[in-house]
């Protein structure tokens, strides 16, 4: 199967251009993309900003997912370029989480449970001409909305504390902006933060440097939430 031009690579997958309208996201370990596809289709039906899902080409494997080709920078690129400031970035992430958690869960009958992204950070938000679009739903599940908020904050805290990261100071400012923007959504419960830490520590793609600052990052999120 011809995958086309390589557009980018993440920790677990590569993205290829199929044509002007569609891209192919291919997991290197052939992880099954069905759960991701189902959740994105469900959210799209409610109008939540996710890429449209395209037809699987002939020869596609379980780790292949065809999606709408989006035009625009990631939020991370916009923050680095200065075309988006940290306050607005924090408000945007908080708003996307709030919009996601306002939707009913797909599976659970528990009224407190919602669909979670569990990896919503600036590199997973594309700023298109039609507004922000959330990508990479590989970690999605259902659970407490507080855990989703905790995870977004924890990821930013880790980056801000990772030695040698060039934009660490800017990410720290973004973390403060995010926590301020989420203040009206309720405090992050101790159990939600602990759940986010446990999930993050089990991520096989986490670098040793990221593992090393995880405890400090959790303490930073906890301090911001007080």
Q: What are 152-206's pLDDT values in tens digits? A: 999 999 999 988 888 888 999 999 999 999 999 988 999 999 999 999 999 998 9
d(C-alpha 51, C-alpha 67), whole Å: 6
Q: Measured between alpha carbons, how far is 93 from 67 in angstroms, rounded to an integer?
A: 22
Query: CA 113: distance to chain centroid?
Result: 19
Structural domain spans, the chain: 5-68, 75-224
CATH fold of 75-224: Aminoglycoside 3'-phosphotransferase; Chain: A, domain 2 (3.90.1200)
For residue 165, the model assigns a pLDDT of: 82
User: With contact defined as beta carbons under 8 Å apart, do 78 and 127 qualify?
Assistant: yes
Task: Say whether pLDDT at 214 is over 90.
Answer: yes
116-130 pLDDT, tens digit each: 999 999 999 999 999
Do 157 and 221 form a contact (C-beta atoms < 8 A)? yes
Q: Is the pTM of this model over 0.85?
A: yes
Confidence of residue 20 (pLDDT cuts 50, 70, 90): confident
Rg (CA), the chain: 17
Mean pLDDT of 24-53: 92
**pLDDT at res. 37:** 92
- CATH topology for the 5-68 domain: Phosphorylase Kinase; domain 1 (3.30.200)
Nearest Cα residue to 54 out of 68, 44, 36: 68
| 109 pLDDT higher than 80 | yes
Q: State the chain's mean pLDDT as an integer.
A: 92
Summarize the chain as % helix, strand, coil (round to 5).
45, 15, 40
What per-residue confidence (pLDDT) applies to 226?
A: 64
């Amino acid at each position: 199967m011809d995958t086309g031009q390589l557009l980018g690579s993440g920790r677990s997958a590569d993205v290829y251009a199929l044509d002007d309208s569609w891209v192919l996201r291919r997991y290197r370990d052939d992880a099954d993309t069905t759960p991701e596809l189902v959740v994105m289709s469900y959210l799209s039906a409610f109008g939540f900003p996710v890429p449209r899902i395209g037809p699987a080409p002939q020869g596609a494997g379980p780790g292949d997912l065809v999606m709408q080709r989006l035009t625009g920078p990631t939020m991370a690129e916009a923050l680095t370029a200065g075309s988006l400031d940290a306050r607005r970035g924090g408000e945007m992430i908080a708003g996307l989480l709030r919009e996601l958690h306002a939707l009913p869960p797909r599976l659970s009958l528990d009224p407190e449970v919602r669909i979670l992204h569990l990896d919503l950070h600036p590199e997973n938000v594309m700023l298109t001409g039609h507004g922000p679009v959330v990508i990479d739903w590989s970690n999605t599940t259902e659970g407490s909305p507080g855990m989703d908020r905790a995870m977004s904050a924890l990821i930013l805290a880790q980056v801000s504390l990772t030695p040698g990261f060039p934009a660490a100071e800017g990410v720290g400012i973004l973390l403060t902006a995010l926590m301020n923007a989420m203040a009206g959504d309720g405090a992050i419960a101790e159990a939600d933060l602990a759940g986010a830490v446990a999930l993050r520590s089990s991520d096989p793609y986490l670098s040793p440097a990221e593992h090393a600052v995880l405890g400090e990052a959790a303490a930073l999120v906890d301090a911001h939430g007080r």
